[in-house]
Homo-oligomer: A and B are copies of this chain.
Amino acid sequence: MISLDAMGGDRGPATVVAGMVASARKNPDIDFILHGPKAELERLVARRKQLTGRVEIRDATDVVSMEDKPSQVVRSGKSTSMWSALEAVRAGEATVCVSCGNTGALMALSTIRLRKLPGVNRPAIAVLWPSRNPQGFNVMLDVGADIRADEQDLLQYALMGASYARNGLRIDQPRVGLLNVGTEEHKGRTELKAANELIAQAAPNGNFDYVGFVEGSDIPGEKCDVIVTDGFTGNVAIKTGEGTANLIGVLLKEAFKYTPLSRIAAVLALTSMRRLQKRIDPRRVNGGVFLGLNGTVVKSHGSADATGVSSAIKLAYQLAVSGFQDKIAARVASAVALAQDAPERETGTE
């Protein structure tokens, strides 16, 4: 059962319902709880016979907008569709929540309502990034849940990221790398040197291989499957990568418009280009996953179209059937147990 926030995306609830239809068509086992203004949603769902008997609608009159401040939503957002969508996971009615809404508000609300897993200080947002690896994508986290991360947080990110790669990308023994400005052990900030040692120690019991420090060029590379970093650096990195890919797309179009011959070439190249576009299409890997909470939350792009929403639902479904939430909780708990021999850690917030 997937709990789905119908509101808050740039394209409105009709696009979310269209994404549900695409998923429902491909997979007969997915059922939904859909949250938003009841009358409107009933009308949208009634038109789609693929959804008959598979959607329960929960009335929520308010919507979290992209401009709403997270603190405001946490205080007075009880009647929003986002709140309602998380509530279904909290109550155990659904395994995973999917929302296209405001990332900051969704993270704040998820943390408050679902609460952090025992042993996790800072939850993280993990994304899939096109790469040269056979599975086609690498996991990167954190990409913006928090702008800080100390060595213990980075260790948790390594454990959670490895668990996500096992369940989301089906890699038995993921290779984990820690993002730095060079691969030499003496380089980087203090917390990175400390995290380098902690992650190396945790690898044998964590069912992952630790490859040590990696660089920005390894994010789309084949040196590791999971890239661990703080949310500030991770956020800048993915946005730089997206911006660079967009720039190349624009320049490619310009290059093909340059001469009559190149226009002919463009027509012939169309299928090749589509093949490439499909390979790196961000809609196909649409969905940042919030890790470190009592419940899994998939954040879809605010601008996602039906294809994007459908791929976020697909990811949510895959994580639900793999029992990901229980596995990641067990993984973090066992790391905490192992660390009890080590000096205690301050767990206060900053």
* Interface residue ranges, A against B (CB under 8 Å): 130-132, 144, 147-148, 179, 181, 188-189, 215-221, 229, 231-233, 235-248, 250-252, 254-256, 258-259, 261-262, 264-266, 268-269, 271-273, 275-276, 279-280
Contact of A236 among B181, B231, B247, B273 (CB under 8 A): B181
Q: Which residue of B lies closest to A144 (CB)?
A: B181
Q: Is the CB of B268 within 8 A of A268?
A: yes
User: Given A216-B239, A237-B236, A244-B220: A147 and B272 within 8 A (CB)?
Assistant: no
In the complex, what residues of B have CB within 8 A of residue A279's CB?
251, 255
Q: Is the CB of B244 within 8 A of A259?
A: no
Q: Is the CB of B179 within 8 A of A248?
A: no
Contact of A268 among B235, B240, B246, B261 (CB under 8 A): B261
Q: Is the CB of A248 within 8 A of B248?
A: yes
Besides A237-B237, A261-B271, 11 other A-B contacts (C-beta < 8 A): A144-B181, A215-B235, A216-B243, A219-B243, A219-B244, A220-B243, A220-B246, A236-B237, A240-B240, A248-B248, A255-B276
Contact of A244 among B179, B229, B244 (CB under 8 A): B244
Q: Chain A interface secondary structure, helix, strand, loop or mixed?
A: helix
Q: How many copies does the complex hold?
A: 2
In the complex, what residues of B have CB within 8 A of residue A271's CB?
259, 261-262
**Distance of A41 from chain B, by nearest CB (Å):** 31
Q: Which residue of B lies closest to A259 (CB)?
A: B271
Q: Is the CB of A266 within 8 A of B272?
A: yes
Q: Which residue of B lies closest to A222 (CB)?
A: B247
User: Given A232-B189, A236-B215: A269 and B276 within 8 A (CB)?
Assistant: no
User: Given A236-B181, A251-B279: A243 and B218 within 8 A (CB)?
Assistant: yes
In the complex, what residues of B have CB within 8 A of residue A280's CB?
247-248, 251
* Cα–Cα, bound, A183→B221 (Å): 29
**Distance of A78 from chain B, by nearest CB (Å):** 24
Q: Is the CB of A220 within 8 A of B232?
A: no
Contact of A269 among B147, B188, B246, B269 (CB under 8 A): B269
Q: Which residue of B lies closest to A261 (CB)?
A: B268
In the complex, what residues of B have CB within 8 A of residue A219's CB?
240, 243-244
